[in-house]
Amino acid sequence: MNKPKVVILGAGYGGLTTTVKLQKKLGVNDAHITLVNKHDYHYESTWLHETAAGTLHHDRGRYAIKDVINSGKVDFVQDTVTAIKPDENKVILENGELDYDYLVVALGFEAATFGIPGLIENAFTIGSVNQSRLIRQHIEYNFAKYNNESEKNESRLNIVVGGGGFTGIEFLGELADRVPQLCKEYDIDRNLVRIINVEAMPSILPGFDPQLVEYAMNSLESRGVEFKLGAMLKECKPDGIVIEKDGEQEEIATNTTVWAAGVRANHLVEESSLEHNRGKVEVKPDLRAPSHENVFVVGDCALIWNKETDRPYPPTAQIAMQEADVCAHNLATLVKGGGDLESFEFNNQGTVASLGHGDAIGVIFGNKKLFGWSASVMKKVIDNRALLKVGGIGLVLKKGKFNIF
């Protein structure tokens, strides 16, 4: 009756998918599985930019963990991990500790602020339900204040998004849709509001096809988004930012800076004794940590090299869920006493970036470019696929996106 103990840290895309796959592969007597997560719900972190803009309610993008796990096979512990001790086969929680035979580290990302002064204190990041609905309320609060002040304060209306990558662009698309609604709500002239993107690179959406990038910029600019490309964020203050472009500094008044220009792995990985490469574990093909063979790492904490591009795969939900498949298979194999472990191979199912309601750009089937309405529909298909994979058709019907017109 000495069942192996499997502990899974994090119920994001990687951890929760691993859990639901594993519970299907193992019988109740095969292992003692424990899932640890800070909240009692899972959220679709790729939908959070919509919550932050106020275009999708956060309850549409989250569901109770107990609704998708089999409580006969998995214990759920709602707690916050404070340390990973792989040399002791132990995990420290805020309210206790757990020991394990096998560990899955799926603790996701946090914002990387690159030491820019004031960013941690004054900028928002789109990293959780709590943070996203705070951004939504922060923007709305500033709009509500505007007409209550006799001296008009433009920093209440200007919104700065740092970073023209995937999240930044998707957030800009939602903001461009949302701002006219906010203007109507608070009797504010739309022309007084600036939505500004600051990106250090000369172009947005690195790695995307130039034709699609141009489409995205046109779509956003036509709805009032301003781009400051090749511009470095030098400082973030409570009521403004300083940027530098072509050697010249410019100050932009804003109470709302949303930083979407970089993520890193959860800091607990770096603080542990796991061997890591700039905070991420460069996992073996079977997704185990090279330094600790009973520890699997999936999702944004794992580093896997893409040999085609000679760069690491970016941290995406798609990869995290594919890794979870392999992780669950390999864990089940080990728990049951051995056999061949699978190697992870990324199967690119395409990438679509939303630009707001009814508009998007993307690439599917390897090289098929999509934009506009068809890309927008494909985006919703992708969003629904994540629900399907974890919670089946029932969850898709409950939380899925079907507003394709």
Would you name the residues annotated as active-site residues? 170
Total residues at interface with a copy of itself (CB under 8 A)? 16
The reply to whether 134 sits near a copy of itself by the rule CB under 8 A is yes
Confirm or reject binding of residue 147 to a copy of itself (CB under 8 A): yes
Q: Applying CB under 8 A, does 141 fall inside the site for a copy of itself?
A: yes
Angle in degrees, 0-180, between the axes of helices 317-335 and 373-399, rounded to the nearest 10: 40
- Provide CB contacts within 8 A for 77, sequence distance 6+: 34, 35, 36, 37, 93, 96, 98
Alpha helices per DSSP H over 277-361? 317-335
Stretch that binds a copy of itself, among 112-120, 131-139, 307-315, 395-403 (CB under 8 A): 131-139
Element (H, E) at 96: strand 96-99
Comparing CB distances to a copy of itself, the nearer of 185 and 293 is: 185
Closest approach, Cβ 405 to a copy of itself, in A, equals 26
> Backbone phi, then psi, for 362, in 5-degree steps?
-175, 175
What 8-state DSSP symbol labels residue 220? H
Which DSSP helix (H) or strand (E) runs through 361?
Answer: strand 360-364
Q: How far is the CB of 231 from a copy of itself (least distance, A)?
A: 28
Determine the Cα–Cα distance for residues 360 and 357; give it in Å rounded to an integer.
8
By beta-carbon proximity to a copy of itself, the closer residue of 41 and 100 is 41
Those residues whose C-beta lies under 8 Å from the C-beta of residue 207, and which sit 6 or more positions away, are none
Distance CA 197, CA 204 (A): 9
CA angle 373, 166, 39 (to 5 degrees): 105
User: How near is the Cβ of 63 to a copy of itself at its closest, in Å?
Assistant: 14
Say whether residue 144 binds a copy of itself (CB under 8 A): yes
Q: Which of residues 184-243 bind a copy of itself (CB under 8 A)?
A: 185-187
Toward a copy of itself, which CB reaches closer, 21 or 136? 136
Residue range at the interface with a copy of itself (CB under 8 A); choices 136-144, 205-213, 339-347, 372-380 = 136-144
H/E run at residue 349? none
Beta strands 248-253 and 240-245 are antiparallel
Q: How far is the CB of 370 from a copy of itself (least distance, A)?
A: 35
Q: What's the closest the beta carbon of residue 244 comes to a copy of itself, in angstroms?
A: 30
CB of 127 to a copy of itself, least distance (A): 10
Contact between 93 and a copy of itself per CB under 8 A? no
Q: Which is nearer to a copy of itself, 130 or 273 (CB)?
A: 130
| Identified binder of a copy of itself from the candidate list 67, 114, 137, 403, rule CB under 8 A | 137
Q: Which residue from 31, 40, 35 is spatially nearest to 10, judged by alpha carbons?
A: 35
* Nearer Cβ to a copy of itself (155/374): 155
Q: Is 136 in the site for a copy of itself (CB under 8 A)?
A: yes
**Cβ distance 44 to 62 under 8 Å?**
yes
110 binds a copy of itself (CB under 8 A): no
Which one-letter DSSP state was computed for residue 54? T
Single out the residue of 2, 148, 222, 347 in contact with a copy of itself (rule: CB under 8 A).
148
Burial label, 71 (beta-carbon count in 10 A; 0-12, 13-18, 19+)? exposed
* Binding site residues, a copy of itself, CB under 8 A: 130-131, 133-134, 136-138, 140-141, 144-145, 147-148, 185-187
